[in-house]
Amino acid sequence: MIKTLYIRFVLMFIGAVLIGLISSFFITISTLALLQEEIVKSTSASMEAKGRQIVRIYEEYGLEGAGSHLDRLESVNNYEIKLFNKQGLVQTFGPERNKFVVEPASEDIVRVLNGVEYRSANRDKISIIGLPVRIGQEQYALLLQPSQLLEEKVLRWIVLFSLGVVLLVGSLCSIAAARYLVKPLRVMQEATRRIAKGDFDIEFGWKTRHDELGELARSFSDMTRSIKRMEQMRQDFVSNVSHEIQTPLTSISGFSKALRRGTLPEEERGRYLDIIQAESERLSRLSEDLLKLASLESEHHPFEPRTYDLDEQIRTVVVACEPQWSAKSISFELDLPRAKIRADEDGLRQVWINLLGNAIKFTAEGGDIAVSIRHQTDRIEVIVADNGIGISREDQEHMFDRFFKADRSHNKRISGSGLGLAIVKRIVTLHEGTIEVDSEPGAARQ
């Protein structure tokens, strides 16, 4: 149990509280020592005020009447009170009668009897105050000292009470906080086990919270959706690659067996050989795309930027693709002002080949494709637009993912490996650029 996060959190918090209590105790003791002088001064002032009140009682009620009035004063029990005349001690009041912690010298009493006030106080000793009192025609000396320093007593109890409250509240808070923090973590721990078993439909009830646990829950949910999407992509990849590989292999195998019979007419043999060659080229292109993407995603892919004419490069790619767009009677509209760019020339050539290839592939016969260059303040924009079949909003979110194909029919006439746009995205990213798509079914833009 001690290895669980819950127990560790509780023990660490209680340990921190105890260390804080011990530190607070020594700090308090040191503070009291530093404030001792101020405490003595404060006590002396309080004593003087009380002493003058007692003097008035004596002067008003005399020796006989003052006693009953003093006994009714609750605060008198906090002081030792002694009344002297020339012959000696006359009266005492207080919880420790006839016992002064510090006895004043007799000459000090004589001075008070002569009308001079007396004060004895320093930072280490209990204060004594002497006040002259005239009762009738006789002069007396009233001496007071506290039975104990009240301020120090109250302060001590306040400190002890505060430390006890800190310990109690801190312990309760540690237990509550531990349960509050650990419970969501246990739920997430169970969620990881479900993910490991292939269950990605996980939701947390505290995702709307604005603290760290809420952020963690939202990040965890985002991660789960990403893993689910990656798993779906993996399954789609297996399906797509299996189809892309199996179909040409089946064709190659079937037509090879037919050629071995040796009874086919020459024209038929030529057609079979053309099919075998075309299917072999499909396999070669698929393997090349896979190797190309793997190379682009590696840390050692060669990246050799140089300055060249971007507009001339695009024109060259358009001319190179002429057999494809001429076969579909597609017309090209070029708006290519001169544009110098520093980039990896081979990489960007691959970008234009893939983008134009997609545009040609999904544009109907007799359609239009427009390619333009726009100079912006901090970048150059290349826009490839066509009037092809368009792309749905849902597919636009994934069209640059590896192995994703918007056309899921596996139509051999227009279907590809699903790697072309992933390669485009990777090359553009290596150039610190961006690529976006703006399209609706029936009005594609990319």
In this prediction, residue 443 carries a pLDDT of 54
Angle between helices 420-430 and 266-297 (to 10 degrees): 30
CA distance 225 to 204: 13
- pLDDT 10s digits, 6-47: 676 677 777 767 776 676 667 666 665 666 666 666 667 777
In this prediction, residue 374 carries a pLDDT of 92
Where does 315-432 show beta strands of DSSP type E?
331-335, 340-344, 368-375, 380-386
Regions of the chain where pLDDT drops below 50 = 1-2, 97-98, 123-124, 149, 408-414, 444-446
Tell me the CATH number for domain 5-155.
3.30.450
In this prediction, residue 3 carries a pLDDT of 53
Q: Could you tell me which residues come within 8 angstroms of residue 262 by beta carbon, excluding any fewer than 6 positions away?
A: none
Tell me the CATH number for domain 200-296.
1.10.287.130
Distances (CA, A) of 286 to 240, 244, 415: 11, 8, 12
Domain with CATH 3.30.565.10 in the chain: 302-446
- pLDDT 10s digits, 101-111: 556 667 888 88
Within 197-328, residue ranges assigned H as helices are 212-260, 266-297, 310-320, 322-327
- pTM (2 d.p.): 0.44
Domain with CATH 3.30.450 in the chain: 5-155
Q: Indicate the pairing of strand 138-146 with strand 125-135.
A: antiparallel
In this prediction, residue 22 carries a pLDDT of 72
Domain with CATH 1.10.287.130 in the chain: 200-296
CA 179 from chain centre, in angstroms, equals 20
Q: Which tokens belong to 271?
A: 């057609």
Half-sphere exposure of residue 58, counting CA atoms within 13 Å on the CB side? 28
CA distance 167 to 18: 7
The number of beta carbons lying within 10 Å of the beta carbon of residue 15 is 11
Which residues are paired to 443 by β-bridges? 440
The number of beta carbons lying within 10 Å of the beta carbon of residue 208 is 9
In this prediction, residue 148 carries a pLDDT of 58
Q: Which CATH superfamily is domain 302-446 in?
A: Histidine kinase-like ATPase, C-terminal domain (3.30.565.10)
In this prediction, residue 377 carries a pLDDT of 84
